[in-house]
Amino acid sequence: MTVFIFIAALLASVAVALVVWPLFRSRPEPAAGPDNLSRGVAVLVAVVVPTLAFVIYFSLSNWSWDPNAQARAQAGEDAAPLAQMASQLAERLSRDKGDAEGWKMLGRTYVVMNDFPKALDAYKQAYTLTSGMDIDALLGYAEAMVLVNEAEFEGEAGQLFEKAVTVAPDNPKALWYAGLTEFRRQDLAAARTHWQALRAMNGPAEILQIVDARLAEIDAAIGPSQDGPAVAAASAGTPAVAAEPQAAASPNGIDLHVEVSPELAARVPAGTTLFILARSGTGGPPLAAIRRSSSELPLEITLTDANAMIPGTSLKQVDALDLVARVSLTGRPVASPGDLYGQVRYDPSSSGRTRLIIDRVVN
């Protein structure tokens, strides 16, 4: 666009010169009046013509001068086919409500589009049509529940995850969510059993990294088991992770300094569960979480994609990110009255550690 502006300005200058030059040429007659008039007209032309040209162009042109507009337009173009496909599929399913596979496909599409309420409705149709016997419909329905409301881990969704791992004990998604359900309920031994089984499947590296981090957290909390992550990793032919996954900061992570304000320091019980969470600024369940102890405060820690609640989630892909630290008096991840917490909006352009101060009380 810069080249275009340069060429346009050059051509405008040439056009003005061709008009003005005859008016500026010296006349042989000594009559000063007409010569001054010609020169005045020349100056007027030189000013008015370029000004009108640019005014007309900026008034009629549809070019966006916003440097980010093209990127936003491209993103809109990329999302448009997916939204159109979802709309067409939803319209077809409104006529053929008995297509369970279609409802599952629609649910998956809405999850990709981050439209979780619609995903829940679609998966509910598939779950109902299959009488809860289709493992993909069951898991999709339960997953959509927690994406809409994370408290469902303690409700129907948690029950469905436990059912799923009973019906399909070799299903990786069932094992992950069953383990996560038990982990949130503080049944760490049961969570470890599910995640060790998942770890033994030796799936994608990014999934194994998340599972290893979770198993290391459990080992740090209740001690390692004979079939801990080191054994599982060795049997899978891959190296085990360190027992303390947060010891070294990752260049791709969010470095945090977590502390308690002086006003609330006396209200923090020693050894109470401390949750450090990353949430989308638009709401929804936590994208990533770390469980530690209040006795470690003040704490230097790094939150990475390895702490993601859902495999494949990347903190880099979230435009607005809220960081939360909460001292849970009940030991549960769901906030309860009396819990102490702090929250800050993460600035990806900042350097150094983000300071997160626990200075508020849950009412």
Q: How do residues 127-144 score in pLDDT, each as one tens digit?
A: 999 998 899 999 999 999
* Residue 13: predicted pLDDT: 63
Residue finishing a domain among 173, 204, 236: 236
* Residue 41: predicted pLDDT: 57
Q: Is residue 196 part of a domain?
A: yes
User: For the chain, how many structural domains are there in total?
Assistant: 3
Q: List pLDDT tens digits, range 320-358.
A: 889 999 998 887 767 888 999 999 998 877 778 899 999
* Residue 348: predicted pLDDT: 79
Q: List pLDDT tens digits, range 276-294.
A: 988 888 777 778 888 888 9
Is the peptide bond prior to 298 cis by the omega test (within 30 degrees of 0)? yes
- Residue 174 contacts residue 208 (beta carbons within 8 Å): no
Q: Is residue 343 part of a domain?
A: yes
Enclosing domain of residue 356? 254-361
Rounded distance between C-alpha atoms, residue 156 and residue 186, angstroms:
18
Residue finishing a domain among 236, 264, 295: 236
Closest CA to 192 of 182, 202, 184: 182
* Residue 97: predicted pLDDT: 85
pLDDT band at 317 (very low <50, low <70, confident <90, very high): confident
pLDDT band at 233 (very low <50, low <70, confident <90, very high): very low
Rounded distance between C-alpha atoms, residue 57 and residue 277, angstroms:
50
DSSP-derived pairing of the beta strands 354-358 and 254-260: parallel
C-beta atoms surrounding 147 within 10 Å: 21
Rounded distance between C-alpha atoms, residue 285 and residue 335, angstroms:
12
Q: Are residues 148 and 184 in the same domain?
A: yes
Query: Which amino acid is it at 83?
Result: A
* Residue 213: predicted pLDDT: 83
Q: Is residue 323 part of a domain?
A: yes
Q: Are residues 230 and 106 in the same domain?
A: yes
* Residue 327: predicted pLDDT: 94
Residue finishing a domain among 236, 267, 286: 236
* Residue 320: predicted pLDDT: 83
- Residue 203 contacts residue 348 (beta carbons within 8 Å): no
* Residue 80: predicted pLDDT: 66
Give 297 or 57, the one with higher predicted confidence.
Answer: 297
Rounded distance between C-alpha atoms, residue 30 and residue 293, angstroms:
98
Q: Are residues 168 and 109 in the same domain?
A: yes
Mutual angle of helices 100-112 and 135-148, in 10-degree steps: 30
